[in-house]
Each structure stands twice: as structure tokens, then as C-alpha cells.
Amino acid sequence: MLVKRLFLLGLALVSARAIAQDMPDMWTKGAATQKEHPNLQWFKDAKFGLFIHWGLYSKLGGNWKDSSYYGSGEWLQYRAQIPAAEYEQVADSFNPVDFDAAQWAQTAKDAGIGYMVITAKHHEGFSMYDSKVSDFDIMDASPYKKDPMKALSAACKAQGIPFGFYYSQFLDWHEPNGGGNNWDFDEKKKDYLRYYREKSVPQLKELLTNYGPLGIVWFDMPGGLTKEQTRQMIDSLRTLQPGCLFSSRVGHDLGDYRDFGDSEVPPVPIPGAWESIYTHNDSWGFIAHDMNFKAPGEIIRLLSNVASKGGNLMLNVGPDGTGKWPAYSVQYLLATGKWLKQYGESIYGTTHGLIPAQPWGVTTAKKQRLYLHVWTPPANGMLRVPYMKAKVTSVTLLGSTTPVKWKQLPEELQVQLPATLPDTRNTVLLVNYTGTQPDYSGERTQTVSTQYTQTEIPAIWAQTKGQAQNKLLTYSHYFGDWKHDNCATAIREPADELVFNLQVQDPGDYKIILEYACTDKMPVREAVVQMVGQQLSFLTLRTGEYDINKPLLYIQHAAGIVKVTQPGSQTLSIKPMTAAGTELFWLRKVILQPVR
């Protein structure tokens, strides 16, 4: 969990607002001691960033000698334990002749990108810019003999895209005193402060001096410094560019905005400025044999999901060693940009949605405007928006003149969708209203309806009784591919009950499916689901051991069917039948499936 902790070195959150109520601490707590950076608004409004991982590892593409590696290509030197002296020689033939700064910036612009962050130096220690501090840089050590970062910063400026550098401030596998390389260098002999003094900080100063105004310095993997030392480093860098934002991974809660773990979206709206980072395929740095690219529809939904919780999505692309982006990255980012051309109003400059996630999708908001992101239309086309209290004045399909019928009831807004939606991935509706709409985003009641194939309820929405508690479980499917699951855990006895509040819109029979992991330390137990006076008892099924470096397996266990005869509020509860010292399971989701 150490790694996880490092990731979560988040920024102090500004104020605990209404949306934070009842949420598990881990998501919403923050020291609240720090003053907000005065230059945060552009970042909050930008919503969609482009991350670029580019270094010597891009040329290696996940292959070293006779072995090939999957996931996190930028970790190749570590995984193959390549001696620094040997790795150095990769630079001899690193010559990205196809790099075209104007093209990169143009593609970013057309993709609807609001800021760009590129690796100036990753953990391998190689500087992708002209550094006077180290000879292990693109200018001195490679045949390219140009500074691509000069060209890229200028091209972004020309496109009006805020530009920033990723800089790994502590790990450096090339330097005897840098963090991380224990295969060449004795860790006991390392002088981390000397590394900061002689390479890290001077290089950060170069970056903050020679590339014009920077939007962001994206620090990663803090280490080797106390809070006070980190503060001093920040102060010395701040004077160079007071307007530049520093990411939370600078360490000790001293960043200007909060980054979640790699590939992590928080389960609830989070106040303050924050960012989720994902990569387009399965690796940050280029891997020749990685073809698992997210489709445009996946990017669009991820972006709207993150925006619905109030954050930014920074999506990564890994160009190869010649300077070309993977063809699918260009193609799918441009497709995302096309969607943003029509629907960008529902993303840029928005805040988290005021209505919690519904079976049809999510919401984002602006002053007196609510955007309905329809991912999954109801079978009968009648979209129900609960909690709509403010007076609605119009409902339109964004970027379309086709009128839609709607009516407002005391408890909800109802919209009749057209038979075919303009965009099957995410069609956005704009709801204009007058007056004030209360913020219901923290509301934990889940809509259940027969109009959808199923309703999935994340376990984090349960009220936890007794000792039961929500816990963030981290694990990986392969190297660097982190998964972050919120599960209900610590359920040992009947008093450790989970209670879900439901709003059932349509009566009917529903199959109740529990999605959980049940590790070897959790013996088979009897438990019960209760809903509308009906009891479904079941025996837990085992799924396998938990190990942070392996997949955590879940089973979808159908506990049975309940009959709902009346629409309205219901509760669904889960508890073990008897007490034991062991945990029942780790519950990730409850799924209610209308029986057809």
C-alpha cells in the first residue's frame, strides 16, 4: 500500500461542501490549511488534458534483447534491470526524425485538448530537452541534436494550448544518487539531497526558465524529502513562475491540485481542483505490441464521467521513438474532438453535476444549466431526471434543432427522447432553468427501473452499519496497470450490515446479483439479502487470494429474485446470518436486473 499512499498525496481540499457529507473520509478529507492557487481557474475549466510519455523507452517499445514486456513501457529499464551504462547506449541511436511539433499541437487542438503535459525526464533519467545540467540529454547524447521541447512549447503557444512538463523529481535510474536504481548503485550509499541539489532542482529551474510560461509542472513519485524540504524546493521554483501549477505528486500535500492514482476516478464528486489520469492503451510509454486502445466512445464516457464528478481527465499518448503517435491514438483522439465540437459546452467550464448518476448516465452543470449525458437511453425513450426542483424553462438536444417533449413534475423532470439519438455513445441534453437548483450529487438513493438492462449500484453507496466500512482496494492486472476498487469490507457479524436506499421506478421482478471478491482468508458463509420483506439467503463463493500485484477476481453471484409490486422507496440490505471472526466478502457492486 505504500505505492498507493504516495499516489494519494493529494492537495488539501478547499472546503467540505454539501456534496462531501456522508462520504467516506478518504475521498473528501483534506488539510484545508492551504490557500488556493490564484491561477487555478483555467485548469478547472480546461477539463481535458493531453499527457505525453516520450523518452528512450519509446524507442525500445517494451522490448529488450530477447524479452518483451507488457504494460508501463517507461519502466523497461527497471523491469529488465538494465545497467545504467548499457541503457545509456540507447541514446546513441535515438533520433526522432519524424517528430513534428506543429502536427502534435494541431492534433491536440483538433482533439479538443485544453492543456498538454509532456515528460521532460522520466525515471530513466534521460532529459528530452537541451539540459546544461546533465549530458544524458537529447542534445548531447543523441544524434538528433535539437531540442524538441523548444519546438513543442512554441507550437502549443501558437495553438493557445497551456503547456507543461512532467518531471520525475526523485527517481533517476541513471544517477548514483537518484532514487530507485538498486541494481547498479548501493542504496545505502545514496545521497538523495545531493541528487536534488545537483540534478533535479537545477533541471526544474531550466524547465521553468527556458520554455516560456508553463501551465503545469507535473511532479511524480515523491521521495527523499521532508515536508519542510519539499516546501523549500517549491518556494525556490515558485519565484521563477508564480503562475505555474504544481501537481500533488510533488509530495506532502503541497501541490496546487489533486491527482488521483494512475487510472483512478473517484466514486463521488470531489471539491477543489483535481485530475484523473488514464493512458490511451495499456501503457504510458510506447509499447509496440500494445493494441488495446480505448475507443472514442470509451474516451467520451470517461471524460464526461470525470467531469460529472468535477475533475479533469488527462489522457496519455505514447509516441514511438521516431516521433510518431500510434495511428489509433490520432484517429480516436480526433473522433473525440469531433464529439467535443458538438457537445463541448457540456464539458468545458462545467462543474460536477447536481443530480447523482442515473441508470441512463451522468450530469454536468453550469449556472442555471444542467447537462444530461445520455449513455444508455431507457427502452421506452422516457428519460426521468429525479431531484429537478428548479423551474425548467427549456430542454434541448445540444447542437441540434430537433425539439424534444418534456414535462416537469414536482419530483422529477421527464424528457421524451427521439427514437434515434444523434450520438449512440453520449448524446447530451441541455436543461435550462431559472432560480436555484439544490445540489443533490451526494444523494445516495439509487434509481432502479425496468427500462434498462440493469442497474449497477457501487458498494460505496451503501450505508455501513456496525464495523462495516468502505475500503479502496488497489491491485494490478499486469505491470503498472492499477485498478482501484471501492468495496464494502469488514463485514463479520449480522450487525455489520449494508443498507442501500433505492427508488424503484417500475414494479416487477428483479434479479439481485452481488459482485464480490471472497479471498482464501474468508471461509464460505451464509448471508442474506433483504428487500421488500423478502429474504434471499445464499452461501458465499470463493474467488481467490488478494495480492496487490495480481488481478483481484470478482464473482457475480445471483442471490435470487425479488418481486416489487409498488414503485417507490425501498431498501436493500445485506448481512451475514451469524457472527464470525472472518470477513464475509468484499462487495464491489449490487446489480438489479429486471427479469424479462
Footprint of ligand H79 (CB under 6 A) = 3, 72, 74-75, 220-221, 262, 277, 284
Q: At its nearest, how many Å lie between ligand H79 and the CB of residue 106?
A: 25
457 in Cβ contact with 591 (< 8 Å): yes
Environment class of residue 477 by beta-carbon count within 10 Å: exposed (0-12), middle (13-18) or buried (19+)? middle
Q: Which long-range contacts (CB under 8 A, 24 or more apart) does 326-331 make?
A: 326/280, 326/281, 326/286, 326/293, 328/280, 328/281, 328/291, 328/293, 329/280, 329/281, 329/293, 330/107
Q: At its nearest, how many Å lie between ligand H79 and the CB of residue 261?
A: 9
Q: At its nearest, how many Å lie between ligand H79 and the CB of residue 230?
A: 18
Minimum CB distance to ligand H79 smaller for 348 or for 479: 479
Q: At its nearest, how many Å lie between ligand H79 and the CB of residue 214?
A: 18
Q: Name the residue with cell 539540459.
A: 131
**d(C-alpha 447, C-alpha 78), whole Å:** 47
**d(C-alpha 454, C-alpha 524), whole Å:** 27
Grid cell for residue 199: 540534478
Minimum CB distance to ligand H79 smaller for 74 or for 583: 74
Minimum CB distance to ligand H79 smaller for 206 or for 220: 220
How many CB atoms are located within 10 Å of the residue 187 CB?
Answer: 10
Chain length of the chain: 596
Sequence-separated (6 or more) residues with CB below 8 Å from residue 256? 11, 37, 40, 245, 246, 247, 248, 273
523 in Cβ contact with 456 (< 8 Å): no
Task: Give me the residue whose beta carbon is nearest to ligand H79.
Answer: 284
Minimum CB distance to ligand H79 smaller for 1 or for 541: 1
Q: At its nearest, how many Å lie between ligand H79 and the CB of residue 568?
A: 46
Environment class of residue 311 by beta-carbon count within 10 Å: exposed (0-12), middle (13-18) or buried (19+)? buried
**d(C-alpha 66, C-alpha 70), whole Å:** 14
Classified as helix, coil or strand, 52 is: strand
Q: At its nearest, how many Å lie between ligand H79 and the CB of residue 545?
A: 18
Q: At its nearest, how many Å lie between ligand H79 and the CB of residue 3?
A: 5
Minimum CB distance to ligand H79 smaller for 221 or for 527: 221
Minimum CB distance to ligand H79 smaller for 74 or for 206: 74
Q: At its nearest, how many Å lie between ligand H79 and the CB of residue 372?
A: 32
Minimum CB distance to ligand H79 smaller for 221 or for 303: 221
364 in Cβ contact with 373 (< 8 Å): yes
Minimum CB distance to ligand H79 smaller for 56 or for 357: 56
Q: At its nearest, how many Å lie between ligand H79 and the CB of residue 220?
A: 5
Q: At its nearest, how many Å lie between ligand H79 and the CB of residue 75?
A: 6
Q: What are the φ and ψ backbone dihedral angles of 286, each rounded to 5 degrees?
A: -55, 130
Q: At its nearest, how many Å lie between ligand H79 and the CB of residue 549?
A: 7
Minimum CB distance to ligand H79 smaller for 165 or for 284: 284
Minimum CB distance to ligand H79 smaller for 135 or for 547: 547
**d(C-alpha 470, C-alpha 119), whole Å:** 35
Minimum CB distance to ligand H79 smaller for 253 or for 262: 262
String of DSSP letters for 83-134: -HHHHHGGGGG---TT--HHHHHHHHHHTT-SEEEEEEE-TT--BSS--SS-
- Check the CA dihedral 305-306-312-318 and report its sign: negative
Minimum CB distance to ligand H79 smaller for 262 or for 443: 262
Sequence-separated (6 or more) residues with CB below 8 Å from residue 149? 118, 120, 128, 129, 130, 165, 211
The kind and range of the H/E element at 51 are strand 48-52
**d(C-alpha 562, C-alpha 443), whole Å:** 24
Sequence-separated (6 or more) residues with CB below 8 Å from residue 159? 105, 106, 108, 109
Q: At its nearest, how many Å lie between ligand H79 and the CB of residue 72?
A: 5
